[in-house]
A and B are shown apart, each in its own frame.
Chain A
């Protein structure tokens, strides 16, 4: 079966760095997305990785290793507004997005 694993919840301190991991087992791979979702709101796009390596975008970076079926989202200089759920999603061989359950990130002052 197809499976995406993320930690359910993480806690970090304002100003610190946090890494949210995502491992996947899917039938084929055509790219991995990270989305941010504040409680009760719509998910918003953060990043897309299709090749191995690190993609940096401001305070957020995303890493992919296709051979390991692994990705992480790195958030630097954490702000209170970063408190949200972070969703990992993989496009499989049928071009369908398979979603993880999301990681709820709690930022403490």
Chain B
């Protein structure tokens, strides 16, 4: 079955530590995205990538970093510079970034900073 996987589902981190969230897709999609979801707010775009070895900052990229070395993979690192990292993180992909392409989402990773 084709889809998007994210791991882990729950993650706990101590303040000051970097942590990497995994996102893998086998849909052969060119575009991939990372969103953050907080209670009472819409999804906010962190980073997106339209092609391998290229990515762009979204609205809230500060304190985060990404890589796109393979088409299937788009890991997100939450660094210690991110002031409020506790949130639900969603990875998504689409065939391309064309406007009519729906985005498919992974199950999400809930990050809690202790």
Q: Residues of A with Cβ closer than 8 Å to B?
A: 4, 8, 30-31, 33, 40-45, 48, 50, 87, 89, 91, 95-102
Determine the main DSSP class of B at the interface with A: loop
Tell me if A96 and B42 are in contact (CB < 8 A): no
Give the number of residues in B that approach A within 8 Å (Cβ atoms). 20
Number of A-B contacts (CB under 8 A): 48
**A42 in contact with B105 (CB, 8 Å):** yes
* Other-chain contact of B108, A33, A41, A91 (Cβ < 8 Å): A41
CB proximity to A under 8 Å, residues B74-114: 90, 97-100, 102-108, 110
Q: Give B76 Cβ to nearest chain A Cβ, in Å.
A: 15
Please determine whether A97 and B103 come into contact, CB atoms closer than 8 angstroms: yes
14 other contacts beyond A33-B102, A87-B43, A97-B43, with CB at 8 A cut-off? A42-B105, A42-B107, A43-B90, A43-B105, A45-B102, A45-B104, A48-B100, A48-B102, A95-B98, A97-B103, A99-B44, A100-B42, A101-B40, A102-B42
